[in-house]
Amino acid sequence: MDRRSGKHGLMTTVEHLRAIPALRPLRGRRPAIVVCLDDPEAFERHRDELRTLDTELIVEREPGELSAHLGRPSVTVCDRFLDVALHSDHVLPDEAISLVRWLEMRCEECPQASVDMAPRTVDGDWR
């Protein structure tokens, strides 16, 4: 699920979605999953789960403004500040939901945010 893992057909680098007028009202309020697919049913089946996570599901079934910015087909997951965490031509709904949960757990203001929190021994990683 990581950009570096090579598990997704990652598209051109999109750093944030703040330049898209239709998405500006979301900034600072909630994370979003933007789905530009002809058949977004797999994501729409998870709409209730996304609502409980306070995540906005934005679906564009026909090519439009979002597809022009993000490409088609594409799925884009972004945090509440519209910073893109994942932008790919194929993402499973469960992966997108898992990423949203992680985005909401992290706290960029905390000093630990940039620290690898995995337990370590004196000699390095746990064995």
Tens-place pLDDT, residues 44-87: 999 999 999 999 999 999 999 999 999 999 999 999 899 999 99
Tens-place pLDDT, residues 3-34: 434 455 555 578 889 989 989 898 888 999 99
What is the average pLDDT score of the chain? Answer: 81
The residue ranges of every structural domain in the chain are: 3-105
What is the CATH topology of the domain spanning 3-105? Glutaredoxin (3.40.30)
* Report field, pTM of the whole predicted structure over 0.85: no
Phi-psi bin for 104: left (phi > 0), alpha (psi -120 to 50), beta? alpha
Q: How far apart are CA 66 and CA 54, in angstroms?
A: 21
Q: By the 8 A CB rule, do 48 and 125 touch?
A: no
